[in-house]
């Protein structure tokens, strides 16, 4: 079970030594919950909820008596909105164009010969850890042992419909898949070609490499994006072949508008953070592509529909007395694994509802509901006629 706990004095010393800061400061940061201390099946860890001492948000310190291991938080990737300006200015010569998959970011580390899956926020997710171990555990162990499990870890995207966080259908991984996009050594990413060599040797999927182009060949990058957009795929990440400069990312209009359509179902939560950033991307895409007249009108209609229609449908459902919630299916080895995941989510303040369970192909499948705050907020507005937002 993943849980928070009251640290013994040596724990503060271990975290302070790992981060290179004072013990008193660690105690204060734990009290203010900037540092979150938890355990997972006997392995203790601390995660950073913001940048600290040069370590990014989401950094994890795994530790025990007499040892510690720092797993750096995954660095944010700058987003490009004007490709013809950003790409030639940012890159040195060549650009590796990789597909950006629509799932959730997971770092994979080997501790005591056990695979641990760490979310971007710095938590060991029991569901992801168990599912990934069943899917690729031995291959991951072999790969990390070969390159050095003490100072290397994988970073990749979990995709598919059977996960608790971000669900999009991919034909190459319809239920659950893991695709490595980086291999890190002591917090520094290795060149993409090394990632490909290691993962392909051990049979671990990596994100698709869609091309290697000159930095001035933006037309080729745009052609790749147009194809991805037609297929409803998320977008691209552009990397220097030697990682001499940080990567850039760019998402397709299909994803920008699709995200709005999804987020506005829960507009009192996701809607606030989804709106401006995705509209901004479309503003500069429309500018760069010179959209005018009917094409611009079509984009405006599509954007407006994506924002308003799902939100109005949500209000209508609540007015009819129906609950607004996410529902999804997950796969577990047994009931204990299911209960462990439910307890983990509860410890984060998320109370799941198990709608049904059944046996399938030797595994326990569960239909799960995750209630959304939008349901409560919309009910209040419908009852009072007043909005909590000015």
Confidence of residue 272 (pLDDT cuts 50, 70, 90): confident
* Cα 108 to Cα 151: distance, rounded to the nearest angstrom: 12
Q: What's domain 2-71's architecture? A: Roll (3.10)
User: What is the side-by-side order of every strand in the sheet holding 78-79?
Assistant: 78-79, 248-251, 235-239, 94-100, 209-214
The three-class DSSP label of residue 314 is helix
Query: pLDDT of 93-140, one tens digit each?
Result: 999 999 999 999 999 999 999 999 999 999 999 999 999 999 999 999
**What pLDDT, on the 0 to 100 scale, is given for residue 19?**
96
Is it true that 2-71 and 325-371 share their CATH fold? no
Task: Name the E strands within 217-345.
Answer: 235-239, 248-251, 325-332
Q: In what order do the strands lie in the sheet with 2-4?
A: 2-4, 35-40, 43-48, 60-64, 67-71
Topology of domain 102-206 in CATH is D-amino Acid Aminotransferase; Chain A, domain 1 (3.30.470)
> In the chain, what is the greatest distance between 2 CA atoms, to the nearest angstrom?
67
Q: What percent of the chain has pLDDT over 90?
A: 93
Q: Which two tokens stand for residue 102?
A: 């629509």
Is the sign of the CA dihedral 224, 199, 330, 376 positive or negative? negative
pLDDT of 227 > 70? The answer is yes
Q: With contact defined as beta carbons under 8 Å apart, do 101 and 170 qualify?
A: yes
Confidence of residue 4 (pLDDT cuts 50, 70, 90): low
Q: In this predicted model, what pLDDT tens digit does every residue of 307-344 receive, in sequence order?
A: 999 999 999 999 999 989 999 999 999 999 999 999 99
CB contact set of 42 (below 8 Å; sequence gap of 6+): none
The domain 325-371: what is its CATH number? Answer: 3.30.70
pLDDT value at residue 332? 98
Question: Binning pLDDT at 50, 70 and 90, where does residue 269 land?
Answer: confident
Q: Six-digit token pair at 55?
A: 């370590």
Closest C-alpha among 151, 152, 127 to residue 202: 152
Q: What pairs with residue 328 in β-bridges?
A: 368
What span, in angstroms and rounded, lies between the C-alpha atoms of 133 and 139? 9
208, pLDDT greater than 90: yes
Tell me the pLDDT of the chain averaged across its residues.
95
Quote the CA–CA distance of 328 and 93 in Å, as a whole number: 44
CATH number of 254-319: 1.20.58.2250
Burial 84-103 (b: 16+ CB within 10 A, else e): eebbeebbeeebbbbbbbbb
Q: Can you give the residue ranges of every domain in the chain? A: 2-71, 102-206, 254-319, 325-371
């Amino acid at each position: 079970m993943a849980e928070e706990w009251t640290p013994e004095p040596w724990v503060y010393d271990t975290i302070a030594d790992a981060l290179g800061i004072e013990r008193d400061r660690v105690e204060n940061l734990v009290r203010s919950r900037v540092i979150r201390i938890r355990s997972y099946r006997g392995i203790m860890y601390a995660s950073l909820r913001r940048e600290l001492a040069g370590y990014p948000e989401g950094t994890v310190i795994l530790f025990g008596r007499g040892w510690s291991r720092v797993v750096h938080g995954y660095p944010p990737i700058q987003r490009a909105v004007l490709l013809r300006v950003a790409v030639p200015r940012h890159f040195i010569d060549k650009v590796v164009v990789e597909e950006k998959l629509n799932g959730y970011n997971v770092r994979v580390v080997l501790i005591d010969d056990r695979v641990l899956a760490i979310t971007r926020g710095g938590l060991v997710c029991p569901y992801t850890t168990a599912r990934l171990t069943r899917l690729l555990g031995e291959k991951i162990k072999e790969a990390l042992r070969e390159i050095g499990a003490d100072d290397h870890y994988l970073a990749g995207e979990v995709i598919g419909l059977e996960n608790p966080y971000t669900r999009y259908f991919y034909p190459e991984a319809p239920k659950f898949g893991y695709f490595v996009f980086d291999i890190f050594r002591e917090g520094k990413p290795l060149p993409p070609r090394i990632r490909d060599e290691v993962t392909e040797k051990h049979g671990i999927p990596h994100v698709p490499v869609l091309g290697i182009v000159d930095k001035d060949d933006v037309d080729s990058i745009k052609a790749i994006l147009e194809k991805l957009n037609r297929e409803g795929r998320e977008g691209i990440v552009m990397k220097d072949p030697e990682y001499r400069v940080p990567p850039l990312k760019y998402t397709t209009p299909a994803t920008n508008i699709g995200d709005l359509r999804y987020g506005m179902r829960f507009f009192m939560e996701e809607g606030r953070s989804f709106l401006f950033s995705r509209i901004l991307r479309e503003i500069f895409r429309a500018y760069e592509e010179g959209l005018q007249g009917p094409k611009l009108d079509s984009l405006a209609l599509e954007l407006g529909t994506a924002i308003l229609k799902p939100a109005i449908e949500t209000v209508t459902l609540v007015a009819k007395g129906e609950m607004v919630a996410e529902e999804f299916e997950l796969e577990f080895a047994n009931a204990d694994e299911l209960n462990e995941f439910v307890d983990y989510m509860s410890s984060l303040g998320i109370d799941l509802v198990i709608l049904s369970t059944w046996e399938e192909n030797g595994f326990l499948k569960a239909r799960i509901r995750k209630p959304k705050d939008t349901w409560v907020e919309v009910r209040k507005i419908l009852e009072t006629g007043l909005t909590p937002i000015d």
